[in-house]
Amino acid sequence: MPNTANTDIEVKLLIQAIYLKYSYDFRDYAGASQKRRVLHAVRQLGCSSISDLQARVLRDPDMFMSLLQYITIPTTEMFRDPAYFMALREEVVPFLKTYPSLKIWIAGCSTGEELYSMAILLKEEGLLERSIIYATDINPAALDKARKGIFSLDRVRAYTANYQQAGGRAAFSDYYTAAYNNALFDRSLCENISFADHSLATDSVFAETHLISCRNVMIYFNHNLQERALGLFHESLCHRGFLGLGSKETIDFSGFATQFEPLVKPQRLYRKL
């Protein structure tokens, strides 16, 4: 890539422009993937350059919303890494059952696949009624999808295997109604879910929680932002609260390595010390 220095400057300026105009803070996202997403967006949105994209984004909030869908990467599936959910059932649920009421935070819930997975798991473990689930994300379009709970039927059917490997007790299809090509997840799963706009880069802790699940979000952060996010999680968690990360994420290279103990290290489940 010739002129890589120019590209880096243009990305930086774009991110700064977004911050100044829309108050979305992407300044501490991991550089390599951010650059790729921006270049991808330039191509997909028909811009002649990153600077052209920046000019349009500044003038047009809709353009910004479109760009947002490229910068925030919604790759997700239900019961993703089934072993994680199995470990939640086996190692974390027994502790959760000792609380009369629970607060659970799905940080970076994206389009809701993980959120509904968690709600189903809690329901099957008899914990959903006593729980409030906070589902937060910076992307309003993703939150909207998550609220609606409508996913492609083909994809949902493909998640059945994940659900079963995650220790699912029922028939997966019990949780959704199929219509045309879509699956609509049971609205009762949402009764205790509170959806909210929240940025791990700029916002503060909003509740004391017992379990935080933040999976494959912090891989897109640089060290600084990961540190900030872990700080929020540490502050939010109650005494001996639980933190779950994505299958290849770790706190080992952060300042919080000594503030959590691994509970089930292979599944990235930690407990606040």
Partner 1 sequence: MSTSSERKIRAIVIGASAGGIKALLVILKKLPASFRLPIIVVLHVPEDRESKLAEVFQYHLEMKVQQAQDKEWIKPGTVYFAGSGYHLSIEQDFSFSLSCEEPECFARPSIDILMQSAADAYGTDLAGFLLSGANHDGAAGLASIKAAGGFTVVQDPAEAEAAIMPQTAINICRPDRIMTLHEIHLFIADLENTYGN
Among 209, 216, 236, 267, binds partner 1 (CB under 8 A): 216
The DSSP code for 193 is E
Structure-token pair, residue 208:
């004391």
**Dist CA 92 CA 16 (whole Å):** 41
Strands 237-245, 269-272: pairing is antiparallel
Coil/strand/helix, residue 136: strand
Contact between 32 and partner 1 (CB under 8 A)?
yes
Shortest distance in whole angstroms from residue 41 CB to partner 1: 12
Contact between 43 and partner 1 (CB under 8 A)?
no
**Dist CA 188 CA 271 (whole Å):** 30
Among 186, 219, 231, 262, binds partner 1 (CB under 8 A): 219
Q: For helices 4-22 and 61-71, give the axis angle rounded to 10 degrees.
A: 120
**Dist CA 215 CA 136 (whole Å):** 12
Among 4, 23, 48, 204, binds partner 1 (CB under 8 A): 4
Shortest distance in whole angstroms from residue 59 CB to partner 1: 28
Paired residues of 267 in beta bridges: none
Shortest distance in whole angstroms from residue 246 CB to partner 1: 8
Shortest distance in whole angstroms from residue 36 CB to partner 1: 7
Contact between 249 and partner 1 (CB under 8 A)?
yes
Among 23, 75, 181, 258, binds partner 1 (CB under 8 A): 75
Contact between 100 and partner 1 (CB under 8 A)?
no
**Dist CA 242 CA 96 (whole Å):** 9
Q: Which residues bind partner 1 (CB under 8 A)?
A: 1-2, 4, 8, 30-33, 35-37, 73, 75, 216, 218-220, 222-223, 226, 247-250, 252-254
